[in-house]
Amino acid sequence: MIKLDIRKQAISFVDKIKAFTDWTAYSDETDEEYETHYCGTYMGIQPSGKYYTGWTTNQTVEEEDNDYIFWNIVGKLLPEYDFVSGDGDPCDCYVVRRKQ
């Protein structure tokens, strides 16, 4: 996968996030208010199509680099958002932002 394709994939993902309208509100233990939205699974989001664990051995350095580039671009385009794994399934990706 070339870097231009990764950039296009990241921009498409960011556009999808920006288009979300049905955010779920919650507050943390400090009563800070946030909103969250389900993005999909990491396997469906990342260029490699993989979810990494500490014991994963089937990824290549190129796949790891491509996923890193993807998330780096997403982070630069959405610096006020965080991406976290789900409580029930760590393969689920959620976007989190301060309540707007």
CB-based contact 77:14 (threshold 8 Å): yes
**What percent of the chain stands above pLDDT 90?**
68
pLDDT at position 92 is 95
pTM (predicted TM-score) = 0.88
Q: What does the alpha-carbon distance between residue 72 and residue 7 come to, in Å, rounded to a whole number?
A: 10
Pick the residue with more confidence: 53 or 26? 26
Question: What angle in degrees, to the nearest 10, is found between the helix axes of 61-77 and 3-19?
Answer: 40
Residue-wise pLDDT for 29-77, tens only, equals 888 899 999 999 999 999 999 988 777 788 888 999 999 999 999 999 9
Distances (CA, A) of 4 to 8, 10, 59, 66: 6, 10, 21, 11
When mean pLDDT is compared across 5-14, 17-26, 45-54, 76-85, the lowest value belongs to 45-54
